Amino acid sequence: MSELIGSIIVLAGAVFLFAAGLGVLRMPDSYNRIQTGTKASTLGTILVLLGLCLFHPEWTGKLLLLVLFVLMTNPVSSHALARASHARHVPRTEKTVVDRLEEIEGPGDGA
């Protein structure tokens, strides 16, 4: 029974990981791609790890540690990507309504 519940949780995680991958393909610019890539893959990974806890209860401590590491490192890598993109003036989608950071730091040449 616990294996069935574990499988369902792992499957739900896989659906979120798929959403993350699809988001990277479908979103219009790099910032929005980073957004979908970070969030959906974080919960996807966490659900897969939690599902594994039900398969191997003796791994629970280690798996929860992994959840903690994913939660701490995943947003940091997205900050780094987003900040580097903005510093390099990676073009935004034309749907963008406001960019307060560029108003302060000055526009780039769009290169």
Partner 1 sequence: MALNLWVTLIAVWLIANASLDTQVVVTGLVLATLISLALSRFSNAYADIRVTPQVLIHSGLYLLVFAQELVRANLHVARLVFSPRIDIHPGIVEIKTRLRSRTGRMVLANSITLTPGTLVVDIDGDSLFVHWIDVEAEDLEGATRAIAERFERHLSVIYG
How far lies 81's CA from each of 4, 31, 44, 70, 78, in Å? 38, 9, 20, 16, 5
Q: Which is nearer to partner 1, 1 or 76 (CB)?
A: 76
110 binds partner 1 (CB under 8 A): no
Rounded-to-integer distance, Cα 101 and Cα 108, Å: 12
- Phi, psi angle pair for 84, to nearest 5°: -65, -40
Amino acid found at 21:
G
Residues in contact with partner 1, shown as a per-residue x/- string from 65 to 84 under the rule CB under 8 A: x-----xx-xxx-xx--xx-
Rounded-to-integer distance, Cα 59 and Cα 55, Å: 9
List 31, 50, 51, 54, residue binding partner 1 (CB under 8 A): 31
Measured from the Cβ of residue 52, the count of other Cβ atoms closer than 10 Å reads 19
Total residues interacting with partner 1, rule: CB under 8 A: 47
45 binds partner 1 (CB under 8 A): no
Site of interaction with partner 1 (CB under 8 A): 15-16, 19-20, 22-23, 26-29, 31-32, 34-36, 38-40, 42-44, 58, 61-62, 64-65, 71-72, 74-76, 78-79, 82-83, 86, 92-93, 95-102, 104
